[in-house]
Amino acid sequence: MMEKKIVLITGASSGIGEGCARKFAMNGYRLILNGRNVEKLNAVKKELLEKYGADVYLLLFDVRDRQAAHAALESLPEEWKAVDILVNNAGVLGDGMPHATTTEFDKVINTNLKGVFFLSQLMGKYMKENQIAGNILNVGSSSSLRPAISAYSMSNGVYGH
């Protein structure tokens, strides 16, 4: 019998990440759910266990904090270390360019861009070192298409068109 694949989903406490967790749970994957809010993650874990009998492990860290992300991944129990799929979904929305503060802009860039890059890099190295033929999926929402704080909207000419 083939061993079940392990999926790590960032931003799994709501929205697209929570939806991905449900879909993977329905299909029998083992799930590592990441987020910053333990109460929300526990609620998702409880639902997935009750509805699908899912095997779920919670991994709390903020994707903006490289040291915390690295330490959290290193802390995984041996039976959870062979991550086959990373769903890089963590993200935040801002109030839009005209209203954004520097602090808010930094939070969005550090979460939506730097966090995605760092986790992709970290998991890519891990998969290569452990000879795991894994996949990294980077998820973005349609909100990046409207004038909001995002690299997408800035490069699409928020001010120019």
Catalytic (active-site) positions: 159
Which residues touch 108 (CB under 8 Å, ≥6 apart)? Answer: 92, 93, 94, 100, 149, 150
Q: Which residues on neighbouring strands pair with residue 60, listed in sequence order?
A: 35
H or E stretch covering 32: strand 30-35
Of 142, 40, 157, whose CA–CA distance to 91 is shortest? 142
